A = this chain, B = another copy of it.
Amino acid sequence: MPEVKVAAKGAAKVAEPRFKRLTATDRAAELVEAGLAVLSAGGITAFTIDKICKKAGASRGLIGHHFGGKDGLLAACYSAAYAPLLRMLHGGGAPLPLPQLMDELFTDRQFRRESLTLWLALWGEIAVNPTLQAEHQRHYQAYETAMIRAITDFAQAKGRQADAPMLAATLIALLDGLWLELCIAPGVMSAQKGRRAVAALLEPHLGPLA
């Protein structure tokens, strides 16, 4: 709430600036962040220009200016939501080995309701929004490829034969399902249960993960 400073008669000629001027990139990033926050907290129905701009501390015209409209921001938010996942998969050059990957997925930082409700909001929209569906395909492919790679490498190291593409697709679906349960039944699902579920799927095919 930046109060307009009433300048005394002969006082400083430089009044408090009415707004902060950012580069287009920075402002876009702030709006995306606000969009994600709003989606997490209130789902897709809370994803409105008013709420997002208020959250970002910007005026209502900016979403149109930087993203061409609400849909543009939503697409940007979707990309931003995928970023941490992909960063984890090939975080810092070398791809993460499967056991560490599974550990990482179930840390308190990742397997958190507050982080995951975001996905529920997006999924519901992707299902009925062809533009977002295309966006999804692109990201999903990178995700799947990395997962196949992790499984293939692990199986090879253990000297096991495994249908890595099939296991990867199954694992991805299982993870999505576990995230879903955590979001809609918070008391029931837990990281420990999630870990056990993943082990129940993978260990018969790949041997012990730990």
- A200 pairs with B205, CB closer than 8 A: yes
Interface size for chain A: under 10, 10 to 19, 20 to 34, or 35 or more residues?
A: 35 or more
Flag whether A146 is at the interface (Cβ < 8 A). no
Flag whether A43 is at the interface (Cβ < 8 A). yes
In the complex, the count of this chain's copies comes to 2
Q: Report A50 CB to chain B, min CB distance, Å.
A: 16
- B185 pairs with A197, CB closer than 8 A: no
- B43 pairs with A124, CB closer than 8 A: yes
Flag whether A25 is at the interface (Cβ < 8 A). no
Name the B residues within 8 Å of A117 (CB-CB): 127-128
Flag whether A107 is at the interface (Cβ < 8 A). no
Flag whether A77 is at the interface (Cβ < 8 A). no
Flag whether A142 is at the interface (Cβ < 8 A). no
Of the listed stretches A4-12, A54-62, A93-101, A175-183, name the one at the interface; the rest are far from the partner chain.
A175-183
Flag whether A184 is at the interface (Cβ < 8 A). yes
Name the B residues within 8 Å of A44 (CB-CB): 43-45, 124
Closest to A137 in B: B185
Interface residues of A in 121-174 (CB under 8 A from B): 121, 123-129, 133, 136-137, 140, 163, 166-167, 169-170, 172-174
Given A42-B128, A44-B45, A176-B177, 17 other A-B residues pairs in contact with their CB atoms under 8 A: A43-B127, A44-B44, A121-B124, A121-B128, A123-B183, A127-B184, A133-B184, A140-B188, A166-B193, A166-B197, A170-B196, A170-B201, A173-B178, A173-B180, A174-B174, A176-B180, A177-B177
User: For A129, A163, A200, which residue has the most chain B Cβ atoms within 10 angstroms?
Assistant: A200
A residues lining the B interface (CB < 8 Å): 41-46, 117, 120-121, 123-129, 133, 136-137, 140, 163, 166-167, 169-170, 172-178, 180-181, 183-186, 188, 193, 196-197, 200-201, 204-205
Name the B residues within 8 Å of A185 (CB-CB): 133, 136-137, 140
List 23 A-B pairs, Cβ < 8 Å. A43-B128, A43-B129, A120-B124, A121-B127, A124-B125, A126-B184, A133-B184, A136-B184, A137-B185, A137-B188, A166-B196, A166-B197, A166-B200, A167-B200, A169-B181, A170-B174, A170-B200, A173-B180, A174-B174, A176-B177, A176-B180, A177-B178, A204-B204
